[in-house]
Structure 1
């Protein structure tokens, strides 16, 4: 019986370790007059698993395969992380998101030409 309880406790701890990192971290801005929220998707490290050496092209706690969910104007955009050097950026080819300056993130849309949306930190 004690062995069974120990196994259940170990399984519960393992489940918590797996589930807790999935909770998104969210931030909010006002972009072009409307509220935009961003949630980090840390799925790259989970897909790759544990590695002995650091992952190449890791930046600001993100790895290839990670992404971001943007909620803006009733639309949810799921943008994968790019492999560009520097501050992590996210794009699906149409939308672009990068938070180099937390007070004024870079949010753009490509529709023939590039439209830049002015963003400011939500107060």
Structure 2
């Protein structure tokens, strides 16, 4: 039995997963434009409306927060704001959208919504 298990184990170890930097772009490109627009509007619409009143830069804050993998300190530094200001903005984003940026699922949704703004040809 040991002889039959070892070759299979060696075979698996020889295969490596190659990173695919544009995997989300391929996924989004396969989604119809109307569906992408609807998804994007549902998640980012409330933030854009709030930003449109000149009160904040919530969409930009969200982009930076996600780009910094949710690091409060790095995000605040990149935004040139105090960490408490960043925390306020993130709470505002969560209040306006009903989402929780502490969860992976909601972070992924926001990440995809931000990328869905690009036309399929540029994804």
Choose between structure 1 and 2: higher helix proportion: 2
Q: Output the TM-score relative to the length of structure 1.
A: 0.26
| Rg (Cα) greater in structure | 2
TM-score under structure 2 length normalisation: 0.26
Q: Which has the higher strand share?
A: 1
